[in-house]
């Protein structure tokens, strides 16, 4: 039985004052029926991990370098994230792929580094609006899954997040049938490559304008094991109802 996961990606948002939101989230959802994860900016990882110690909230990074160390100014390695208290890291987010030109092979190398450092990698895949309109969605997803995920993954160190690029931060949400089609397809692709045991234990998240008003219906879709949430994860008042909806669907 896969335990559901509500993951929040704060992106380039949050200062010391934002840690109060974590205290509220932990207090109000101490008995949540799902796992909770927040990926804050790197400047807050250590303090957030301390605040979340011995609670049901995990802390992750938003990206990592493929190398353990070296002359890579401004970058952070997976080992450093682990040392700061992170247990997860996002790799291949669409904003990294688009804004920084990251290709599947780069995402694969980062994912491998994360796993070797003892982190759980949340590998993101998703299509653009142009690709969706050209009916290429499943081909794009297949290529990203194949190219971005290393052979060493297990159901414990891999999470896959489907984030249709055209739905992120736009308020647009695919239909439930479209979400279900992609999630079912991802499960079948993973099973074909890694076998049923691994594939059925990997959690598949949906990410793309998830909010309190649509969370419950999205969590009722086949093979949706949770959500990767952007803006709605910045405030406990917004993220809490998503956690509650996911707990109710578990």
d(CA 134, CA 164) in angstroms, rounded, equals: 14
Q: What is the DSSP string of the chain?
A: -PPPEEEEE--S---GGGHHHHHHHHHHTTT-SSEEEEE--GGGHHHHHHHTTTSSEEEEES--BSSSSSS-TT--BHHHHHHHT-SEEEES-HHHHHHS---HHHHHHHHHHHHHTTPEEEEEE---HHHHHTT-HHHHHHHHHHHHS-TT--TTTEEEEE--GGGTTTS----HHHHHHHHHHHHHHHHHHH-HHHHTTSEEEE-SS--HHHHHHHHTSTT--EEEESGGGSSHHHHHHHHHHHHHH-
Q: What is the DSSP string of 142-207?
A: HHHHHHHS-TT--TTTEEEEE--GGGTTTS----HHHHHHHHHHHHHHHHHHH-HHHHTTSEEEE-
Tokens of 234: 């910045």
Enumerate the active-site residues.
Answer: 93, 163
């Amino acid at each position: 039985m896969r335990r559901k996961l509500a993951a929040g990606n704060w992106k380039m948002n949050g200062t010391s004052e934002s840690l109060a939101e974590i205290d509220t989230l932990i207090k109000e959802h101490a008995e949540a029926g799902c796992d909770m994860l927040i990926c804050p900016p790197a400047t807050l990882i250590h303090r957030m991990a301390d605040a979340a110690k011995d609670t049901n909230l995990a802390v992750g990074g938003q990206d990592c370098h493929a190398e353990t160390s070296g002359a890579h100014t401004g970058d952070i390695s997976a080992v450093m994230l682990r040392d700061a208290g992170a247990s997860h890291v996002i790799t291949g987010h669409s904003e990294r792929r688009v804004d920084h030109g990251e290709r599947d092979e780069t995402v694969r190398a980062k994912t491998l580094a994360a796993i070797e450092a003892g982190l759980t990698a949340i590998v993101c895949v998703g299509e653009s609006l142009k690709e969706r309109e050209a009916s290429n969605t499943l081909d794009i997803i297949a290529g990203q899954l194949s190219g971005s995920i290393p052979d060493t993954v297990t159901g414990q160190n891999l999470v896959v997040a489907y984030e249709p690029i055209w739905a992120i931060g736009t308020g647009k949400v695919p239909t439930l049938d479209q979400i279900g089609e992609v999630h079912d397809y991802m499960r079948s692709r993973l099973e074909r490559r890694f076998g049923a045991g691994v594939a059925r234990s990997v959690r598949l998240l949906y990410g793309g304008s998830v909010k309190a008003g649509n969370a419950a219906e999205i969590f009722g879709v086949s093979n949706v094991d949770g959500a990767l949430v952007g803006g709605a994860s910045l405030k406990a008042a917004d993220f809490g109802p998503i956690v509650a909806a996911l707990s109710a669907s578990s």
